[in-house]
Amino acid sequence: MTGEAAQLRTAQRGTAEAPTGSSTCRHGESRSVVAAGVGLNVRNEPYPGTPWQPGPRRNRTIRATIPRMPLLTAIAALLVQTAPAPAAPAVVTQTAPVVDTPAVPAAATQTTPVNDAPAAPAASTPPAPLTGSPVPSEELVGPPTPSTEPEPIHQVWIFIDRWKEFGGTVVSETDLIITVTDGLETRTFNKAKVLDIIELVHPKPGQRGLVQLRDGTIVRGEILKDSLEEVEFQVDTVRGRVPREKVYRVMLELEFETRYARIKAAIAPEEHGRRLGMARWLADQDRLDLAITELEALLRDGDVEEAREMLREINARVKLELSVKESKGNSQKKAANKAADAAAAAAEQTQAANDGSHSAKPAPRGAPTTREMLPKDLLSNEDVNLVRVYEIDFKDPPRLTVSPEGVRQLILRYGSSALVPATTQERNALYSKSSVEIARLMFDLKARDLYNYIEVEEDPTSVAKFRTRVHNSWLISNCATSRCHGGVDAGRFFLYTGNAKDQRIRYTNLLTLLNFKVDGQPVINFEDPPNSLLIQYAMTRSSARYPHPDVKGWRPVLSASTPQLLQDTLDWIRSMYQPRPEYPVKYVAPKLDAIDKVVPTADGPDR
């Protein structure tokens, strides 16, 4: 075939080949793909001048930058995250002809007349097909493969030129011509004279893929629907819908078994590094059985220390998962046995009631115990977490986690703030930042509505001091006894006791101390810690400025013989966050004052 004939054939197919080592892209664009969080960002930077300015139209060969390696090698390198060995050059083809600066759109053969004179340029232009995609091109499929099931409707979206688009159901198609109807009109197009023809995909339940938007953003997740009206997808637990006019194309990933077979076929037995990378990828996909099989095979072929270490780690992971499953199974079994016993007991009681006299009264219960009379309203675990969030010290932050949904909501609700990155690439990069950095950004934005997305996994420094140096050290053992503030005679100041490891008890008592006042005097005085009633009431009456009321059984805790307790208490008060925040926690402290308490009068006792 002559050179001219080959060029004509290329133009008719609407494809272009990229010779090895070529480095230019459409319109001299620089394309970078950055993985971050739930999506990828593609940034297009055209050469100086107005983008897509009309000019002469022509078809030309497109050159794309690609690594010098076979396509299957690229697949393995991207999936297993290991550096592949250099190999023979590869050829990449793009699915749409690229034009430089067309002035007059090419005429398309059609049954309905089309006005070819361009109107005002549209806001969006179809981006170039992906090169260097995070998922190799051989793992992305367009239309579904043939099967014995009824063939799905063949629909396409056609980019006629830079201003005109048309989508619908394919009526007929040949190598050169395609006829499409949208239900109102039917149009016929010459494939070589349109910018691109995008075939809509039909995802299977749970099938993943990529959604490439026209602004360059790429979202990876489960594809739910690809229709002429919109594209629906799900990332983690978040569903999203994008109108068709904002979508360029949807590409589906191959199923795991197919991907695994292709990767394995592309790796030679002597390529130990790539086989190790494949095992790591299998472990990341939670296919631990296959990862173990591959590692054992690798160790039989050679002494690879990294493979031996990875095998130990995966075996330990398998044992841990088995133990967790066994523990859950035992718990469920115990719960089932307990429910069965309760049902049997209930059946026995019902039978006894039926056998006995119907007029028999139920046996009276005994008088309530003292513990049954005590309050039981504690803070919830969610309230505990909020208190922890408000007490975070970023100089010494506790272990914490910010969910991806928290990052997404931060961008959605506070994207107009100067503190939030403006570009899509920088916003995607937020997903890769540490949770402490994201939490600090939320604090800088005063985004209190997002604090519930922060999960603090341990006590902040100040609360840890309260737990070890005050609450568990002397407060509960001296002030929360049954004859004092932990009993039915506690009055308005009640402290909970019980399981010392229960964080709800600890934080409920903390909130009580922070909020309680006696005649306007706070129990915790942050402006003057030594004058806090918590300290004054714990001192001897002779040395206290505000001595504890004279009640039977009271004994001082902070005295000359316990100077360290006093210093620890002062250190805790001074370590709490300043200025003091108001926790968004709804809690009402219990009051154990008797409503019918006898009040003596001059005339005698109240009747």
**Contact call for residues 231 and 250 (beta carbons, < 8 A):** yes
Sequence-separated contacts (24+) of 228-231 with Cβ below 8 Å: 228/155, 228/157, 228/167, 228/168, 228/182, 228/200
Mean pLDDT, rounded, of the chain:
74
Check pLDDT > 50 for residue 539. Answer: yes
Instruction: Give the pLDDT confidence score for residue 542 in this predicted structure.
Output: 86
Check pLDDT > 90 for residue 277. Answer: yes
Instruction: Give the pLDDT confidence score for residue 91 in this predicted structure.
Output: 36
Residue 114: how many CB atoms within 10 A of its CB? 14
Instruction: Give the pLDDT confidence score for residue 486 in this predicted structure.
Output: 60
Tell me, letter by letter, the H, E, C secondary structure of 525-551. CCCCHHHCHHHHCCECCCCCCCCCCCC
Instruction: Give the pLDDT confidence score for residue 354 in this predicted structure.
Output: 58
Mean pLDDT for 351-377 is: 58
pLDDT in tens, 377-435: 788 999 999 999 999 999 999 999 999 999 999 999 998 899 999 888 888 889 889 99
Instruction: Give the pLDDT confidence score for residue 147 in this predicted structure.
Output: 53
Handedness of CA 383, 385, 387, 389 (dihedral sign): negative
pLDDT in tens, 551-568: 777 788 888 888 899 999
| 181 residue type, one letter | T
Q: How far apart are CA 19 and CA 530, in angstroms?
A: 80
Mean pLDDT for 258-262 is: 88
pLDDT in tens, 35-60: 333 333 333 333 333 333 333 333 33
- Structure tokens given for 72: 């299957």
| 211 residue type, one letter | V
Residue 520: how many CB atoms within 10 A of its CB? 5
Check pLDDT > 60 for residue 167. Answer: yes
Instruction: Give the pLDDT confidence score for residue 100 in this predicted structure.
Output: 39
Residue 501: how many CB atoms within 10 A of its CB? 8
Place 244 in a pLDDT band, splitting at 50, 70 and 90. very high
Instruction: Give the pLDDT confidence score for residue 396 in this predicted structure.
Output: 93
Place 487 in a pLDDT band, splitting at 50, 70 and 90. low
Mean pLDDT for 346-374 is: 58
Q: How far apart are CA 496 and CA 502, in angstroms?
A: 11
Place 226 in a pLDDT band, splitting at 50, 70 and 90. very high
Instruction: Give the pLDDT confidence score for residue 230 in this predicted structure.
Output: 94
Helix (H, G, I), strand (E, B) or coil at 428: helix
Cα-based distances in Å from 72 to 17, 246, 287: 18, 31, 21
Place 351 in a pLDDT band, splitting at 50, 70 and 90. low
Instruction: Give the pLDDT confidence score for residue 477 in this predicted structure.
Output: 80
Residue 49: how many CB atoms within 10 A of its CB? 9
119-133, 198-212, 536-550: which has the highest mean pLDDT?
198-212
Sequence-separated contacts (24+) of 537-540 with Cβ below 8 Å: 538/474, 538/478, 538/479, 538/569
CA-wise closest residue to 190 among 161, 216, 150: 161
Cα-based distances in Å from 118 to 85, 103, 164, 313, 475: 49, 9, 8, 62, 81
Check pLDDT > 60 for residue 331. Answer: yes
Check pLDDT > 90 for residue 62. Answer: no
pTM here? 0.41
* Proportion of the chain above pLDDT 90, given as a percent: 36
Contacts of 197 (CB under 8 A, 6+ apart): 14, 96, 156, 157, 158, 159, 178, 189, 191
pLDDT in tens, 293-305: 999 999 999 888 8
- 340 burial via Cβ count (<10 Å: 0-12, 13-18, 19+): exposed
**Contact call for residues 44 and 38 (beta carbons, < 8 A):** no
Q: Among 83-97, 256-270, 324-338, 450-464, which is the least confidently predicted range?
A: 83-97
Strands 247-253 and 208-213 come out as: antiparallel
Check pLDDT > 70 for residue 478. Answer: yes
Q: Where are the domains of the chain?
A: 3-114+123-253, 268-328, 399-456, 461-575
